[in-house]
Amino acid sequence: MYDRMQELGKEQMTRIHDASMDILKNTGVIFNEEEALEIFKKNGFRIDGKIVFFEEKDVEQALKTVPKRFRVYARNPEKDVEIGEDDFVFVPGYGAPYVITPQGDQREATMEDYDNFCKLVHSSKHINMNGWMMVEPSDMPHETVHLDLNLSNILLCDKAFMGSPVSRAGAVEGLEMAAIAWGGKEKIMDKPVSVSLINSLSPLQFSDEMAGSLIELARHGQACVIASLIMAGASGPVTLDGVAALQNAEILAGVTLSQLVRQGAPVIYGSTSSAMDMRTGALSIGAPELSMNISFTAQMARFYNMPSRSGGGLTDSLFPDAQAGIESALALYTAARNGINFMLHSCGILGSYIAMSYEKFLLDEETCGLIRHMFRPTPVSDDSIDAEMIKSVGIGGQYLTHPKTFKLCRTELYMTDLMSRMNYDAWTKAGKKRIDQVAEDKVSQRLAAYERPDIDPGIEKDLTAYVAAKKNG
Amino acid sequence: MSDLKTITETLLTGDGEKVAELTQAALDAGLSAKEILNQGLIAGMDIVGARMESGEMFIPEVLMSAQAMGGAVEILKPLLSDEDAAGGGTIVLGTVKGDLHDIGKNLVSMMMESAGFKVVNMGVDIDPDAFIQAIKDNDADILALSALLTTTMPMMAQTIKSIEESGLRDKVKILVGGAPVNQSYADEIGADGYAPDAGSASKLAKALLA
């Protein structure tokens, strides 16, 4: 199939790989974490202080045991998700400290906001997994907020969720809570029930929190995204090719650690590297370089037979306006089309990750629905073509009253919940509403109609008691 | 009474065979054709119209219900007086001279038929004189004109002018519709009403004759 988006040939991908191997072997990567350094040392890696140097054979060995796909189990088995190869998931925004209101005002996010986003994910037709830290609640103590987020994730939504990589201890607490929900740690040891986000610190470092979390999560069979977020021209080279080599080195370093901890631990090759805006010095995630890198990320992950992560509904705009729509749709579409498997930040993000917006959440969610539909393969069978029907309707006939149209009119074509398809008069009569205004109405309706999913009362009691005990201890 | 309710509910599913069966059964049980038409079928189509407007029912489903209604009316027709059969009145409808589009107009035709109007669907590319003749022949209460092209919209104005000249203008209400048409154009050319879609067209027709 002809595709204008740049396809990397095997030779080009090998060149990127070789450059990464050169960087890993000669410059190395800092791991600010004692156990990580011990693990590398025990496996015969060359270490200088906190710098770990990698030989190509060690990386290749790790890549051999990485699963190319895996399932993440949800509290509701109907909502289990598959990640890898042709299967992909949309996952909401992550890490925003603020909420931008429908009036365009920025305010600090609260725990109530976090719960509301859990509710929206639960009732979403298009978002396949719950996130983590969708907003950072300012009204909760920083030291224990991860417990509250885990609890809301489990109680308010029955989809698979992301885990807490705040620190080694935070990761362990997340694991213990998941163990309560699934009836024992042994029940989740070989069964991922969470995916956690492990970020490198570009260039070429891993913090103690991230490396410690990665070790605990991999050890307990929980999935991790190992991701790099390079700002081209600031925390990485200004050229996209240079970024590809640098992020590849960082990701492979993390992947190698995960497989040293536990062979076969499910990990995802991740990047949302983009450009720095050269006029302001700000990170730009609405830049076309983001989408170009998304495509490279998907291709390099396939080069290593790994699932990939990128995203999402990303924008620099501070309001759910046309800029937000353009930038988010381009990035989401590129990610889905190029084969990204885990699309983090699929919905809600505004202002280069600074804020979540309820209205933007709904807009992006709709984009996810459109995209999922676009990539639905058609059968191209005699039945789906149905030349007999076309001949029988004949010249100048119509298909509106044909039984086949009646039968398929709800399932064959995508029905939008949000986009306006009204004529001018109907639109005028409905108040000439912009899409963000339509979304604002729908947010309240969705939250009002939300019903909490069932959970075993014993499990709920144990989870709540666990959180209370940790907070008091 | 429950028979009529079942007819109404079945009509909403678009199952024409079943609606015809139930209609016959209701007649056999001694209900009058007029009752069945008004309280069973037209009551059902009123719900269909409302659900179409709210987006709950899709157009192919609306048309399936309308066809089911049409089938049942065929059974009832021999038993209805002319007045009852025409229900709300008689509508002459067509696409104006120079314009060959008919899907939207046919949709309007079916919606009006199922709302209880007698509809004379003249087809496409109809010149003003043919409309005038049809109004006379059918003693029409309403003339509904369709145009999809901005280039054929002026033919709506001309058709209305011809009807004025023929002296029939006071006898019929004129409705206009089609993608480029809007309320202000309808006002400008002296039409009695404009509807943006088939559901509201039949509602408007009812209102104009009430």
Closest partner residue to A409 among B60, B182, B196, by Cβ? B60
- A306 CB burial (10 A radius; 0-12, 13-18, 19+): buried
Measured between beta carbons, the chain A residues lying within 8 angstroms of B67 are 401
Domain boundary pick from B63, B84, B105: B84
Of B60, B107, B183, nearest to A406 by CB-CB distance is B60
Angle between helices A457-472 and A145-156 (to 10 degrees): 170
CB contact under 8 A, B60 and A423: no
Contact A81, A131 (CB under 8 A): no
> What pLDDT does residue B85 have?
62
Q: Give the Å distances, CA to CA, from B153 to A104, A289, A294.
A: 43, 48, 50
Residues B94 and B174 in one domain: yes
Task: Output the pLDDT for position B199.
Answer: 80
Within this chain, do residues B76 and B99 fall inside the same structural domain, yes or no?
Answer: no
Interchain pair A426, B107: CB under 8 A? no
From B14, B102, B182, residue closest to A425, measured CB to CB: B182
Are residues B105 and B136 part of one domain?
yes
What pLDDT digit, counting tens, does each position of B14-72 carry?
Answer: 999 999 999 999 999 999 999 999 899 989 988 998 898 888 999 899 889 988 998 99
Are B110 and B183 members of one domain?
yes
Are B153 and B74 contained in the same domain? no
Least confident of A408-412, B87-91, B106-110: B87-91
Distance (Å, rounded) from C-alpha A210 to C-alpha A227? 11
Nearest to B68 by CA among B108, B1, B2, B9: B9
Domain C-terminal end among B52, B84, B116 = B84
Residues whose CB falls within 8 Å of the CB of residue A299, separated by 6 or more in sequence, listed in order: A7, A8, A13, A338, A339
Whether residue B59 and residue A398 make contact (CB cut-off 8 A), yes or no, is no
**Cross-chain Cβ contact A398/B61 below 8 Å:** no
pLDDT digits (tens, 9 = 90+) for A418-455: 999 988 888 998 999 999 999 999 999 999 999 999 99
Determine the structural domain holding residue B19 and report its residue range: 2-84
Is residue B200 over pLDDT 90? no
**Token pair of A144 as six digits:** 């224990």
Return the residue in A413, A423, A442 with the most chain B beta carbons within 10 A, the one to mutate for interface testing: A423
Q: Residue A398 and residue B197: Cβ atoms within 8 Å?
A: no
Contact B60 A425 (CB under 8 A): no
Q: Which chain A residues contact residue B58 at CB under 8 A?
A: 409-410
Residues in chain A with CB shorter than 8 Å from the CB of B179 are 423
Interface of A with B (CB under 8 A): 398, 400-403, 405-406, 409-410, 423-426
Kindly state the tokens that stand for A410: 């709800």
Ordered alpha helix ranges (H), A277-355:
288-303, 322-338
Distances (CA, A) of B134 to A285, B32, B92, B109, B180: 64, 32, 7, 15, 26
Q: Where are the alpha helices (DSSP H) in A107-266?
A: 111-122, 145-156, 168-182, 208-219, 240-261
pLDDT at B2: 61
- With a threshold of 0.85, tell me whether the complex ipTM lies above it: no
Task: Please tell me whether residues B108 and B141 are part of one structural domain.
Answer: yes
Q: Which of B17, B48, B59 to probe by mutation at the A interface, max A CB count within 10 Å?
A: B59
**CATH number of the domain enclosing B16:** 1.10.1240.10
Query: Which residues share a beta bridge with A71?
Result: A82
Q: What is the pTM of this model?
A: 0.90
Structure token digits, residue A157: 């939504």
The 10s digit of each residue's pLDDT in A346-358 is 999 999 999 999 9
Q: Report the percent of chain A where pLDDT is more than 90.
A: 96
**Which pLDDT belongs to residue B86?**
58
**Below-70 pLDDT ranges, chain A:** none
Delineate the domains of chain A, giving CATH numbers in brackets: 64-374 (3.20.20.480)
Identify whether the C-beta of residue A80 lies closer than 8 Å to the C-beta of residue A319. Answer: no
In this prediction, residue B87 carries a pLDDT of: 65
Domain boundary among B21, B51, B84: B84
Shared domain for B37 and B122, answered yes or no, is no
Query: The domain spanning residue B172 has which CATH number?
Result: 3.40.50.280
Kindly identify which residue of chain A lies nearest to residue B61, measuring between CA atoms.
A406
> Which 8-state DSSP code applies to residue A236?
B
- CB contact (8 A) between residue B63 and residue A400: yes
CA distance B64 to chain A (A): 7
Q: Provide the pairing of β-strand A69-72 with A81-84.
A: antiparallel
CB-based contact A426 B197, cutoff 8 Å: yes
Residue B1 has pLDDT above 70, yes or no: no
Give CA A101 to chain center in angstroms: 23
Cis, bond preceding A312 (omega within 30 deg of 0):
yes
Q: Are B13 and B46 members of one domain?
A: yes
- Where is average pLDDT lowest: A101-105, A254-258, B141-145, B150-154? B150-154
Q: Both B69 and B148 in a single domain?
A: no
pLDDT of the residue at B49: 84
Number of domains in chain B: 2
CA distance A311 to A17: 22
- Per-residue pLDDT at B107: 86
Query: Token digits for B63?
Result: 């048309």
Q: For residues B65 and B70, what is the distance between their CA atoms, to the nearest angstrom? A: 9
Give yes or no: residues B186 and B134 share one domain. Answer: yes
What pLDDT does residue A144 have? Answer: 95
Scanning every residue of chain B, which has its alpha carbon at the shortest distance from the alpha carbon of A398?
B103
Q: What does the pLDDT read at residue A131?
A: 97
SS (H, E, C) chain B: CHHHHHHHHHHHHCCHHHHHHHHHHHHHCCCCHHHHHHHHHHHHHHHHHHHHHHCCCCHHHHHHHHHHHHHHHHHHHHHCCHHHHHECCEEEEEEECCCCCCHHHHHHHHHHHHCCEEEEECCCCECHHHHHHHHHHHCCCEEEEECCCCCCHHHHHHHHHHHHHCCCCCCCEEEEECCCCCHHHHHHCCCCEECCCHHHHHHHHHHHHC
**What pLDDT was estimated at residue A89?**
98
Q: Specify which residues A272 forms β-bridges with.
A: none
Backbone angles phi, psi at B71, to 5 degrees: -60, -45
Tell me the shortest Cα–Cα distance from A439 to chain B, in angstroms: 17
> Could you tell me if B126 and B201 lie in one domain?
yes
B contacts of A442 (beta carbons < 8 Å): none
Q: Count of residues for chain A?
A: 473
Together in a domain, B61 and B155 = no
